[in-house]
Amino acid sequence: MTKKEAFDIGSVKVDLSGKERALEESYPALNTAAGIKRLLAERGALELRQYAGDYDAVLMLIDLQTAITAAKLTERQSEALRLVYTQDLTQEDAARQAGVARTTLVGHIDVAVEKIAAVYEYWGWHGEGYCREASLQTEVAE
């Protein structure tokens, strides 16, 4: 057996980046409100993938939670996101539970989503992702 034959026997055609590429295709524009809304709506599916061992889903969930924290949402904005995207209530039911009009609730969601998208956009312009040291330095400077 030649060296080339030995090498060919040990090679396997496996797409090591397939899952990551599939996630990037599913959520192509996280720096837009539409992309964030889609990500929030499918958070439950990502959590299931996380528990199935999908490391890329874990990273997306960590980035999402970090972006939500960095966006510095108001209590009302956080509550609106929680009611609609975590508790999976309709906008009408969420507004009723929050004690506000549906249009007010939608306004809170829209502003919150724009703030989160702005964090992703910032990350995109400053090194393609979250940098813990830079974030900590920014918080200390404030």
What pLDDT does 116 receive? 95
d(CA 61, CA 50): 9
Rounded Cα gap, residues 71 and 94, in angstroms:
22
Domain membership flag for residue 129: yes
Give the torsion through C-alpha atoms of 97, 30, 66, 19, to 10 deg: 110
Structural domain includes residue 109: yes
Q: pLDDT digit string (tens) for 43-77?
A: 999 999 989 988 888 988 999 999 999 999 999 99
Instruction: Answer yes or no: is 87 within a domain.
Output: yes
Residue 40 belongs to a domain: yes
Q: What is the pLDDT of residue 40?
A: 94
Is residue 12 domain-resident?
no
- The reported pLDDT for the residue numbered 110 is 97
Phi-psi group of 78: left, alpha or beta (phi > 0 → left; psi -120 to 50 → alpha; rest → beta): alpha
Does 1 fall in a domain?
no
What is the pLDDT, as a whole number, of residue 77? 97
What is the arithmetic mean of pLDDT over 114-119?
Answer: 94
Give CA 78 to chain center in angstroms. 15
**Do residues 85 and 41 touch, judged by C-beta distance below 8 A?**
yes
Q: How many domains does the chain have?
A: 1
The answer, yes or no, to whether residue 19 has pLDDT greater than 70, is: no
Domain of residue 107: give its range.
23-136
Quote the CA–CA distance of 92 and 106 in Å, as a whole number. Answer: 10
